[in-house]
Amino acid sequence: MGALRMLQRRARLIIGITLLACVVALPFIMAVPKHYYSETRVLASPAPALALTAGLDGREARIDMQAELERLLSKEVSAAVIERFNLAGREEFNASLKPPSELDTLIAALRARLNGTEVGADGGSDEQTADKVAQAFDAALVVSRQSNVDVIAVGFTSRDPWLAAQVPGAMVETYLARRSAHWEQEVTEAADWLEKRIATERANVDEARAELDRLLGADGQSGADTEDTTAKRLLQIEDRQAELERMRFDIAASRRSIAAALANPDIPALTEPARIETLRGELQDEVRELDRIALVYGDSYETVKRRKARIDSIRADIAEGLRSFDRTLELRDTALEAEQERLGQDAEAARAALGAIRATTPQVRERTDVLRAREQTLSDLEYRQQLLLSQARLAPVSLEELSPPRVPVDPLGPGRKVYLAGTAIGALLVALLIAAILEMRDTGVRSHEQLAHLPHLEPVGLWPQFTRAQKRTMRRDVDRRTVTPATEALRDMLLMLESAHGGRLPRLLTVTAPRGQDMAVPVAGWIALELAATGRKVRLVETRAAGVSPLRHLIGGSAGAKARPDDGIQHLELPKLVTRHGGDVAAALRAVTARGEEDGAIVIVDAPPLLSPGSLRFARLGGPVLLVLRWGRTPRAVVELAAGLLAKLGAPQVYSLVADVQPRRHRLYGFTDRLTVSSRPGLGARLFGQG
């Protein structure tokens, strides 16, 4: 609901911005030229003869589609098509043929002035013009491959429908002609090069074969078998040496453990014969039995003595067995050492033999490899020569036309209506954004409901915006008691003021506004006129020297007119009163207030703006203050500041009057005051913010 009201309030702005954008964009939209697009689709495949013989000689009949696309887009093909259709003479592709606009002329003059040259002296050369035409042609040309199949689509965009239909076919024809010519030239050059290369390779093969025959004749053998046998024998010897080294290492470790076992019979060696392991088991049994008997009978028991003798005997047998096993290991280590020395001599002999063999074979092997490589190269060259000669008369690529280009009827892209609609939508969005920003930045007072958080401020009226005629005839209408919107608003405000003040009008009323521009109408003068018209005695204190509202002249009728002597109002000018009281403004105001209380007159002080310098003293006269606010112009922050100042100054009561209200717009804010709920406009006017 709030968004709808916002749209209604800003409808004129939104519609105005949208229409303005459409009007500004319309010439540019109408100037957009129409472009037409046409394309042809062709199927690219190898030459039929190559496809039929594919696989017979190991060849694959295929083409590189990416390379063919690059050839189709080559500068040579594009230049031929440009020359065929004389595109350099068309304004569409040659920008230099376009008559310069005023903006272009101005830019050229500025550029010439900055460069210190004459206008037109920097015109492009023929080569630059040709490059620009080629760039425009490339921008209008579209060449693409249909997914993974060998179908090429060639399209062209132009303002001329006939040209758009002719260029794709011309591109394909020119490409085929250029491709065939290049192919024949490449085949001829390749055949000549291969003939020379084959002759050179044949001479190299003969030379390598003669060198190998000479080397084999001097050596008598290749030595490949002897080298392999010797290498295998050397490998076997080295493996046996490694095995003997491990065996001797194990024997040394066993002998060290035997020495430790002889030093301490209770510690077994790493490896022991089965007999010694049996004796150690008997020793453990005897020791356990000895401990048990000795615990029961003591060491002097005969059986204990026999057990000890038995244990000593077993330990002696174990020591003797270990010494015998150690001698056996020593003999075995000696035999292994002798074998290791013999294998070392054999290894040295095998290495010497292998070195001698290898010293004679590298040259033979190198010459053999060179001969094989040159023979393979010669065979490849001869095969390529045969293959090239067989393809000399074949077309490199075959293009089958799948769909010919047609003269387009409808222009390319969206129409002008679509552009206009897009412009309107974009302008509408921008207008909505501007309207939303204005709504968020709108901090002006538009209703007393926005000031409900200020309890010291009591509303007494909401005045609509008066016309100039209503302002000029206000005095006459008040004197004649004429019923007009302006007089009724004034009387309603006085009624509300009287009700808010306990059923009677205050004897002293200070009328002010936060700022000078907030006093849209002369409220103090109109109040004085209305009270005087009802027969009440009124004194109007005019603070002209301290700052008066620029609309004061509207009190008495036409602009510049002064109040008549018989208007029933006693006009008091503050500068004169201050002069009488020795320059004391407060004393002058107190004297006027005291005199009004004596003779029963109502004193109305037309005070200067509250936030102007020297104006706060008027809020301390003792009577209520009527704070006049201007609808939509007085910021809420200013009102809060003014209310806070009045509260600090001890004003007994502050009444607020919102003037200069625009009823039609005011109703769109959704407030619950009289201007909103009464005399609502029709549905159409409400939707468009009018009425």
307-337 per-position pLDDT tens digit: 777 777 777 777 777 778 778 888 888 888 8
Q: Is the pLDDT of residue 272 over 80?
A: no
| Residue of 154 and 443 predicted with greater confidence | 154
Which class is domain 445-687?
alpha beta
47-51 contact pairs (CB < 8 A, 24+) = 47/391, 47/394, 47/395, 47/396, 47/397, 47/398, 48/398, 49/394, 50/391, 50/394
Digit-coded pLDDT (tens) for 37-80: 889 998 888 776 665 555 545 556 677 788 888 888 889 898 99
| Residue of 690 and 375 predicted with greater confidence | 375
| Residue of 683 and 604 predicted with greater confidence | 604
Q: Is the pLDDT of residue 635 over 80?
A: yes
Most confidently modeled of 31-40, 157-166, 303-312, 344-353?
157-166
Percentage of the residues of the chain whose pLDDT score is greater than 70: 84
Q: How far apart are CA 661 and CA 654, in angstroms?
A: 20
| Residue of 355 and 188 predicted with greater confidence | 188
Percentage of the residues of the chain whose pLDDT score is greater than 90: 6
Q: Is the pLDDT of residue 211 over 50?
A: yes
Digit-coded pLDDT (tens) for 302-315: 777 777 777 777 77
* pLDDT bracket for residue 430 (50, 70, 90): very high
Q: Is the pLDDT of residue 429 over 90?
A: yes
The sign of the CA dihedral 547, 551, 556, 558 is: positive
Q: How far apart are CA 646 and CA 652, in angstroms?
A: 9
- At 183 the pLDDT is 80
Most confidently modeled of 8-12, 135-139, 366-370, 413-417?
135-139
Q: Is the pLDDT of residue 17 over 60?
A: yes
| Residue of 119 and 536 predicted with greater confidence | 536
The mean pLDDT of 615-632, rounded to a whole number, is: 83
The mean pLDDT of 439-462, rounded to a whole number, is: 85
Nearest Cα to Cα of residue 162 among 401, 402, 406: 406
Question: How would you write 232-294 as a 3-class SS string?
Answer: HHHHHHHHHHHHHHHHHHHHHHHHHHHHHHHHCCCCCCCCCCHHHHHHHHHHHHHHHHHHHHH
Torsion of CA 646, 649, 654, 658, to 10 degrees: -20
The mean pLDDT of 240-247, rounded to a whole number, is: 86
- At 646 the pLDDT is 87
Q: Is the pLDDT of residue 545 over 60?
A: no
- At 328 the pLDDT is 84
Instruction: Tell me phi and psi for residue 380, to 5 degrees.
Output: -65, -40
Q: How far apart are CA 405 and CA 171, in angstroms?
A: 12
With b for 16 or more beta-carbon neighbours within 10 A and e for fewer, the 591-628 pattern comes to ebbeebeeeebbbbbbbbbbbbeebbebbebebbbbbb
Name the β-bridge partners of 142: 155
Q: How far apart are CA 79 and CA 95, in angstroms?
A: 17
Specify the length of the chain in residues. Answer: 691
Nearest Cα to Cα of residue 224 among 389, 368, 384: 368
* pLDDT bracket for residue 629 (50, 70, 90): very high
- At 351 the pLDDT is 80
- At 220 the pLDDT is 44
Nearest Cα to Cα of residue 391 among 64, 71, 46: 46
The mean pLDDT of 409-438, rounded to a whole number, is: 86
* pLDDT bracket for residue 435 (50, 70, 90): confident
The mean pLDDT of 199-203, rounded to a whole number, is: 89
With b for 16 or more beta-carbon neighbours within 10 A and e for fewer, the 347-370 pattern comes to beebeebbeebeebbeebeebeeb
Q: Tell the residue number behind the tokens 């004596």, with chain if given.
A: 598
Q: What's the Rg (C-alpha) of the chain?
A: 60
Instruction: Tell me phi and psi for residue 681, to 5 degrees.
Output: -75, 170
- What are the boundaries of each domain within the chain? 2-180+394-421, 224-390, 445-687
| Residue of 183 and 688 predicted with greater confidence | 183
* pLDDT bracket for residue 548 (50, 70, 90): very low
Helix (H) or strand (E) holding 625: strand 625-630
* pLDDT bracket for residue 426 (50, 70, 90): very high
Amino acid at 435: A
* pLDDT bracket for residue 425 (50, 70, 90): very high
Q: Which two tokens stand for residue 507?
A: 């004897």
